[in-house]
Structure 1
Amino acid sequence: MTLDLAPLADGTAPLARRNPVAKAGAALLFTLPLISTVDPFTPAAALLVELLVLPFFGVRPGVLLRRATPLLLSAAGILVTMVLFAAERGGDLLVALGPVDVTTGVLATAGALILRVFAIALPGIVVFATTDPTDLADALVQNAKAPARFAIGALAAFRLVPLLGQEWRTLSLARRARGVDAGRNPVAKLRLFTSTAFALLVGALRRGVRLAVAMDARGFDSGLPRTHARRQHFTIQDTFLLVSAFLAASAIIAAAVVLGFFKPIVG
């Protein structure tokens, strides 16, 4: 169990060099309109735009696929859930699995949901793949005026996440060394997984408490102005990135309305 959260993109790419707050804001502005509709055209068009600008972020397709692996599991879960429990089963009948009818309408609805999940999650994946966590925390404090206690605390937590994978492996090896092994018994495996997860949670809480005390001892909650070792500048190019993301999202929504695909999520 390993977690890789370091930036894996080409840092010299044009959009990868943008301010972290600008990249995060652009991702938010581009994906928020996708929530307003349930049609498949809007997320499909958004995905196309995201894939077209991907080279400008310096993200390699292999890196993107590796980072998006959890989304593939989510897509499978959405498909299975819709096939089994969809209330509306319009369209042509494709397969009859006992009491479950798989129709074109069900697959279209599931496809639209899967496209929306990918279209909303992909910008966030790209932002974190092209941004150093320390730069993001500094930009949040300097440009977004976020509280230093929150931003630096989030950075510390983010840096500690990969340690969870190492601790899980350490706990598993320690229990195996003491003869605690589930073998092929699924019930024993579930019990062992639960106890290991609880031990990992307890360790994470203890580390979090120690980290909070250390931050308070260093004056993060003093309210005094703080200096910054790494300055983060918000330039006209960063503003252009935000405006471009908003205009691209507006154009996609307008195209969906004009072409008759727009289906508001409310109403």
Structure 2
Amino acid sequence: MFEHVIIGQYLPGSSFLHRMDARAKLIAVFSFIFIIFLMNSWAGYGMLWAGAAIIYFLSGIPFRYIRKGMFPILILIVFTFFLHALFTKEGEILISAGFFTLYKGGVEQGVFIAFRLILLVFITSLLTLTTSPIDLTDALEQLFTPLKRIGVPAHEIALMMSIAIRFIPTLLQETEKIVKAQSARGADFNKGTFQERSQAFVALLVPLFVRAFKRAEDLAFAMEARGYNGGEGRTKLRQLTWSFRDSAACTAVLIFGILLLFFRD
């Protein structure tokens, strides 16, 4: 049921993206996301797709994982497309039949929003698939380090974000187990009235929350038993190393973003 969700999963490898510094990957990803939201033309999105294809080939991730990652958002993409296509009244009229009118601007807007969603999920999935949770935590902590001067707990924020990402697949697996167990006891999540289906989902949510809190408690006890007391005075076994490869990748993304500015309408 939830086997298509790949956010939070890590696939070991030796590709270009796997060997990049996690800090460089975060900087490049956030820059690429910023570029995606700036784009508003067909030529610009065409170049974005070309850039995404290059990143995919540099990742060495099998396409089946990318396809699995796109599956959960298909309904959201289709719904968003039709929402903009039907209610955005801009440009020339493409179809007019009674009360139904379809505008060219609405279709373009729907396609652009769909492209944005696909690219966002695609890029963030590649980030988690090619970066281990430990490296991701260390990278977030170091990028947030300048905020310590104003009292922001950089280490704690990075740790919470990493744990949240790491436990997404775990909680989904727990949900699938509970769904199967409740279905074996006669619960039906797909049929019946709204009230009956709501009651069935209550039987799903209650044990899910219980297990989530139990895992959180076990994790807290384990961290306490190992002497964890925050980021102060902690040393790291593995040090992140910034290389020429990382500088070149970030520079390429920056140049790519500047070039795409010329394709804005």
TM-score, shorter chain, exceeding 0.5: yes
1:59 and 1:110 map into 2 onto residues whose CA distance is: 29
Higher helix proportion, which one?
A: 2
Give distance in 2, aligned partners of 1:179 and 1:108.
46
Q: Could you give the per-residue CA deviations for residues 104-163 of structure 1, whole angstroms, max 9, x where no partner exists?
A: 332122112222223333222221121122221233335654833333333333332222
Which amino acid counterpart does residue 140 of structure 1 have in structure 2?
A: L
Whose relative contact order is higher, 1 or 2, with alpha carbons under 8 Å and at least 6 apart?
1
* 1:97-246 paired onto structure 2 within 5 Å: 99-141=99-141, 145=145, 147-181=154-188, 184-187=191-194, 188-212=196-220, 214-215=222-223, 218-222=226-230, 224-246=232-254
Q: 1:92 to 1:29 in 2, by over 3 A?
A: same
| Matched residue SS, 2:86 | helix
Tell me, what secondary structure is at the counterpart of 1:93? strand
Structure 2 contact 91–105 (Cα < 8 Å) conserved: yes
Does the C-alpha gap of structure 1 residues 235 and 69 become closer, same or farther in structure 2, counting only changes over 3 Å? same
Secondary structure of 1:159's counterpart equals helix
Residues 93, 101 of structure 2: 8 Å contact kept: no
- Aligned partner of 2:150 in structure 1 is none
1:149–1:220 contact (8 Å) kept in structure 2:
no
**Secondary structure at 1:68 match in 2:** helix
Q: Distance in 2 between matches of 1:37 and 1:50?
A: 14
1:20-68 deviation line (CA, Å, top 9, x unaligned)? 1111111111221332343343233212211133212212332222212
Which residue of the partner structure matches residue 60 of structure 1? 62
Q: Which runs of 5+ in 2 are unaligned?
A: 146-152
* Alignment of 1:247 onto 2:247: no
Q: Choose 20-29 or 209-218, whichever is displaced more.
A: 209-218
Shift of 1:232: 1.7
Q: For 2:200 and 2:162, how far apart are their aligned partners in 1?
A: 31
* Paired residues, number: 254
Provide TM-score, normalisation by structure 2.
0.81
Give the direction of change, closer, same or farther, for the CA distance of 1:185–1:143 in structure 2 (3 Å limit).
Answer: closer
Q: Cα RMSD over matched residues?
A: 2.8
Amino acid in the other structure paired with 1:64: I
Distance 1:101 1:125 in 2: 37
Structure 1, unaligned runs of 5 or more: 257-261
CA contact (8 A) 1:83 1:100 kept: no
Match of residue 31, structure 2, among 25, 29, 32? 29
